[in-house]
Amino acid sequence: MSIDTAYMRDAMTRRLLRRGASTGQITLPAVPGMLDQYVSMCNNIFAALGRKFSRDELDHLRSLLAKELANAFAGSNRSNIVISYDAPIGTTLNYFIQPQAMSLADTYDNWVATRKPPLFGTNPDARVMALANEIADPAAGRVLDIGAGTGRNALALARRGHPVDAVELTSKFADILRAEAYKHLFNIRVIDRDVFETMDDLRKDYQLVILSEVVSDFRNAMQLRAIFELASECLAPGGHLVFNTFVPRPGLLSDDAVRELADAAREFGQQVYTSIFTGEEIDTASAGLPLRLLTNDSVFEYEQANLPAGCWPPTGWYADWVSGLDLFDVPREQSPVEMRWLVYQKTG
């Protein structure tokens, strides 16, 4: 009788795998809208270990993953899903799914502990400095820098002569900024808290309110509305609000045919510092307030064109990040989202 060698090798491989024992752990960002990808990944890994799941077993895995992904993402946009598995000798595979959350402040504290400075580059944003340069008397041009980080913009503005109030959620960032301000005797007041807690310690005469690389950490449009309300309350008449945020390129991620993709992109975007807001959401958030949109520029193009010679890109990750490539692994021209600079002026 003839032997089908491929068939027999497969049969022998199954026996081989069942004589092995495996343990492992998979940790991934929690993105509920990408449930199918988690199920497919687990199915492939388990099958490679000789533990191919039945349809009922896959359905059970899917239901558990769906529940824990939702719990993790609801708890924090810096959450992971951890899948631990144990495959002893035989055909059994045991697995355990657990959410793992970290706060935004804890995430950035970890940056300080594990990353080499400067964390955000050394130069201030070209867009921010262009607005500051429109203020003829810096000493009279008080600035509010929200999410000031380690002071990349605040220190440059204070060096120009602006009084600066810097609000920073991450205590280790605030400590670094406070130390730098003290060393140079700069007029910087560091406010170590979440900007949404209160406005009692903020002034009402700022000429410039800045949120650089901050809205990209927002979870919803209510936070965006809160910033517009804060700027309306705290800016002097004629003062400017400037922030950068990721928006879909025209015609992309807005069609009903890609709604499921867009929803998953929003969730994953929150995990990779790329929160997305549509133009309609931004307009709704600012509606009814004394703020007029003046300019809307590509961050990539503006900063590349206006930073001092030799300073582009500010960091090794900046150009890809502002182009949406931390979210989509595609060439820059194919990315459906990009970061934009929005500048508003208080009208009354």
Query: Are residues 92 and 110 both part of a single domain?
Result: no
Q: In terms of domains, do 154 and 77 share one? A: no
178 with 217, same domain: the answer is: yes
Do 118 and 231 belong together in one domain?
A: yes
In the chain the first and final C-alpha atoms are separated, in Å, by 94
Q: Can you give the length of the chain in residues?
A: 348
Domain-ending residue, one of 59, 87, 102: 102
User: What is the per-residue pLDDT across 298-340, written as a single tens digit (0 to 9) for each?
Assistant: 999 999 999 999 999 999 999 999 999 999 999 999 999 999 9
Say whether both 93 and 110 belong to one domain: no
Mean of pLDDT over the chain = 94
Query: For 70-124, what is each residue's pLDDT tens digit?
Result: 999 999 989 999 999 999 999 899 999 999 988 877 887 777 778 777 777 789 9
**Is the domain of 244 the same as that of 137?**
yes
Whether the per-residue pLDDT at 234 is higher than 80: the answer is yes
Based on the domain organization, do 37 and 125 belong to the same domain? no
pLDDT tens for residues 24-47? 999 999 999 999 999 999 999 999
- Whether 222 and 278 map to the same domain: the answer is yes
Q: Residue 155's domain is classified under what CATH number?
A: 3.40.50.150
Residue 270: the pLDDT is: 96
Residues 224 and 275 in one domain: yes
In the listed set 102, 132, 153, which residue is the last one of a domain according to the structure?
102
What is residue 3's predicted lDDT score, i.e. its pLDDT?
83
| Alpha-carbon gap, residue 303 to 309, rounded angstroms | 11
pLDDT at 58 over 70: yes
In the chain, the number of structural domains is 2
- Among residues 74, 102, 130, the one where a domain terminates is 102
* pLDDT, average across residues 263-277: 95
What is the pTM for the complete model shown? 0.91
Together in a domain, 175 and 53: no
Integer Cα distance of 266 and 219 in angstroms: 9
Which residues, 6+ apart, have CB-to-CB distance to 169 below 8 Å?
104, 105, 108, 147, 193, 194, 195
Judge contact between 335 and 248, C-beta under 8 A.
Answer: no
Boundaries of domain holding 61: 5-102
pLDDT given for residue 119 in this prediction: 72
- What pLDDT does residue 109 have? 78
Q: Residue 215 — very low, low, confident or very high, per pLDDT cuts 50/70/90?
A: very high
Same domain, 136 and 280: yes
Tell me, yes or no, whether 12 and 93 share the same domain: yes
